[in-house]
Amino acid sequence: MSATFDKLKALLAEKKALTNDEVAAAIAADGDMTDEEKVWLEAERHRLARAASTTITLEEYLAASKVLDTADPSSDEYKKAEEIVNKYEAGQ
């Protein structure tokens, strides 16, 4: 394993997320990673991101849909409901 991979893997385990800037800085400082290391790191980043996101239930979706039908489109309540509906419909 490369030093860059080890460094980024430890950072990812600690923070549960990595930015592209952090990855680029580590590569610039310690050198490039192998293709297998890049694939593993990216897969782990996505896995952690999906695990951290909240799942919208059907009940939450239905309640948010009702809000969209009744609330003023410029209200904060409407915007929050719209976000829930969009996430649910996107499968998040």
Digit-by-digit pLDDT tens for the chain (92 residues) are: 889 999 999 999 998 888 899 999 999 999 999 999 999 999 999 888 877 777 788 999 999 999 999 999 999 999 999 999 998 888 76
**So where are the chain's domains?**
3-52, 58-89
Give me the DSSP letters along the chain: --HHHHHHHHHHHHHS---HHHHHHHHHHH----HHHHHHHHHHHHHHHHHHSPPPPHHHHHHHHHHHHHS-TTSHHHHHHHHHHHHHHTT-
